[in-house]
Structure 1
Amino acid sequence: MRADISESSRLAGRALPSKRLLCSETLGWQSMLARTYHDPAVTEEFTTAPSSELTLVIALTGTMQIESRKGRGWHRANYRPGSAGLTAPGNVSVLRWQSTSAQPLESLHLHLPVDEYWAFDSLLLDDPLVAAAGKALKRALDESAPEYYAESITQMLVAHLMYTANKKPVVEPLPIGPSGLDQVTEYMRARLAEDIRLDELAAQVNVSKYHFLRMFTRATGQTPHRYLTGLRMTRAAEMLQDNEKTVLQVAIACGYRSPGQFAAAFRRRYGVSPTEFRNFG
């Protein structure tokens, strides 16, 4: 997977008849481009713009009948929440659709840097994993999640799509050794205040981001994101007991942008708010 997003993907939204709602660029995400749209109930025939990245569109709300022109004919599919369409890099689609329910139509558009040789077009993907990834990424946009979290989702999503394409076998990575694991976890501990990227961690053991994700999860039983959150919560608890810093200062030192995000994560871990934890201590 490449780590850059092309200008063609950034401009692709201009060809859509839809109204943009959220965009990952405002959050500083760089490894993928994610945007949500409010789609019109009915649209006449239009042509999408080509993108240098793989384009994945996932329906979020509403149902509709969508058609894609192939030569002189039209291919038809029925979309519901979780249904998805896929366009390979450099390709375009001629589309039209009509809503089949009173619920507004919303969709998530992902532009994902991939190796072009396995990418494919599909008018309809009804895949539970793709649907779940779409919901998780929509929530990440809504909650202004760090790129690290979104990137871990898209890494698994791209791996799943590559497997679905059935054009390249998935190679099992070698397990991560104790020294490599120590190196990665020490890198995390030294940078708890930073927005650590998955490729930074993978670089510590000289593997791809996808292989690192699998290796780390296999070695620890947790994703890197969950493991990092655990380290941050442990550090936060220690700092709160010292009473030397305010809750906001503790939040920033542990990598959280706001007291609200920090308090929510802390409560999930310890069952109480940071202030309550400090008072109990």
Structure 2
Amino acid sequence: MSRPGLPSRLLRSSSHLGWNGVRLEEYEDPFVTEAFHTRGESLTLVRVTTGRYRIESRAGGRWRADDYRPGSVGVTAPGHENVLRWRASAPVVMRSQHVHLDPALVPAGAASPDALSLDDPYVTASVQALATALDDEAPALYADAVAAALVAHLVHRVGARAVSPVRAGALSAGEVRLVVDFMHEHLSEDVTLEQLSALVGLSKFHFLRLFRSATGETPARFLAKVRLRQGARSLSMTPESVAAVAIRCGYRSAGQFAAAFRREYGCTPRAYRQQSRGI
């Protein structure tokens, strides 16, 4: 299976996870391609994971070329139309990760980044974080937070125009309470950055920055702690099974809950229950 216009075979995608601000796709690429047209509505990053490519890009009448190796990244602005072709420069299986970012994450007044080749450790680490999130079936709130931070970095790294004045400081205590109450009320659901930012009338980009300024945590990390605290409380005070507690606290499985619980509390949910009851 391949995405329309892309001569590659889709290996996996985050589409089933309900992420809102970002979609990650992984492809196996052919060794040689004829020239093909590309145009996307998202801000797109392509990162090579295996293989070596000689990639050429034509915007207008002029071809540009670069050599890609594992870790190389290209960035395409939303709505940007060009022509691509490539040829393998080594007999190695060729695979790539495509990160499609919501263009609404680009701050008002900033230029959407565009670069045939970008060497940036932060971008590489962010794409890897999203790939790990796909492995873990992470919730939308985490993926959206990574996406917002990645876009902010790209706008700064690739080049931005002057940005319109935005709200400074942090969220008020009332706004933080409104967001936290929403988290508690929707604990079993896949809470998104879009939902939380709408509560206080901010863009996702600015909400992420102001929430962290107010609480010292990203929304994803804060929600994870809320879920785990509620899970610990339920383990101590109710006879619910670990699986039932996991689902009620927003985890997809008992295993996912147990892994997160162990990282936070240093023991399994079952051991925590026994310790809290003096068993």
Tell me which interval the TM-score lies in, with the shorter structure as reference length.
Answer: 0.7 to 0.9
Return the match for 2:219 from 219, 224, 227: 224
Matches within 5 A, 1:238-249: 238-249=233-244
Return the match for 2:24 from 24, 27, 34: 34
Return the match for 2:162 from 151, 162, 168: 168
Note if 1:156 corresponds to 2:156. no
How far the C-alpha of 1:101 sits from its partner, in A, is 4.5
Q: Report if aligned partners of 2:258, 2:268 keep a CA contact under 8 Å in 1.
A: yes
How far the C-alpha of 1:14 sits from its partner, in A, is 2.0
Q: Report if aligned partners of 1:87, 1:93 keep a CA contact under 8 Å in 2.
A: no
Note if 1:233 corresponds to 2:222. no
Amino acid at match of 2:220: H
How far the C-alpha of 1:70 sits from its partner, in A, is 5.2
Amino acid at match of 1:144: E
The answer for the alignment partner of 2:13 in structure 1 is: 23
Return the match for 2:85 from 76, 80, 96: 96
Q: 1:154 and 1:100 mapped to 2: Cα distance?
A: 31
Note if 1:81 corresponds to 2:70. yes
The answer for the alignment partner of 2:57 in structure 1 is: 68
Q: 1:146 and 1:111 mapped to 2: Cα distance?
A: 17
Note if 1:274 corresponds to 2:269. yes
Structure 2 vs 1, CA of residues 136 and 92 (structure 1 numbering), >3 Å: closer, same or farther? same
Residue deviations 1:118-166 (CA, integer Å, cap 9, x gap): 2243210112221111111111222221111111111111222222332
Q: Report if aligned partners of 2:60, 2:82 keep a CA contact under 8 Å in 1.
A: no
Amino acid at match of 1:142: D
The answer for the alignment partner of 1:257 in structure 2 is: 252
The answer for the alignment partner of 1:112 in structure 2 is: 101
The answer for the alignment partner of 1:4 in structure 2 is: none
Of stretches 140-149 and 116-125 in structure 1, the one that deviates more from structure 2 is: 116-125
Q: Report if aligned partners of 1:55, 1:109 keep a CA contact under 8 Å in 2.
A: yes
Q: 2:197 and 2:61 mapped to 1: Cα distance?
A: 48
Q: Report SS of the residue matched to 1:118.
A: coil
Q: Report if aligned partners of 1:140, 1:150 keep a CA contact under 8 Å in 2.
A: yes
Q: TM-score, normalised by structure 1?
A: 0.87
Once superposed, what is the RMSD of the aligned Cα atoms? 2.3
Q: Return 5+ residue gaps in structure 1 as ranges.
A: 1-10
The answer for the alignment partner of 2:197 in structure 1 is: 202
Of stretches 82-91 and 108-117 in structure 1, the one that deviates more from structure 2 is: 108-117
Q: 2:164 and 2:256 mapped to 1: Cα distance?
A: 37
Residue deviations 1:31-53 (CA, integer Å, cap 9, x gap): 3332111122x213321332222
Amino acid at match of 1:25: S
Q: 1:218 and 1:90 mapped to 2: Cα distance?
A: 33
Q: 2:46 and 2:6 mapped to 1: Cα distance?
A: 12
Identity within the alignment, %:
41
Note if 1:134 corresponds to 2:127. yes
Q: 2:275 and 2:55 mapped to 1: Cα distance?
A: 57
Q: Report SS of the residue matched to 1:218.
A: helix
Q: Report SS of the residue matched to 1:52.
A: coil
Amino acid at match of 1:211: H
Q: Return 5+ residue gaps in structure 2 as ranges.
A: none
Of stretches 269-278 and 85-94 in structure 1, the one that deviates more from structure 2 is: 85-94
Q: Report SS of the residue matched to 1:86.
A: strand
Q: Report if aligned partners of 2:46, 2:74 keep a CA contact under 8 Å in 1.
A: yes
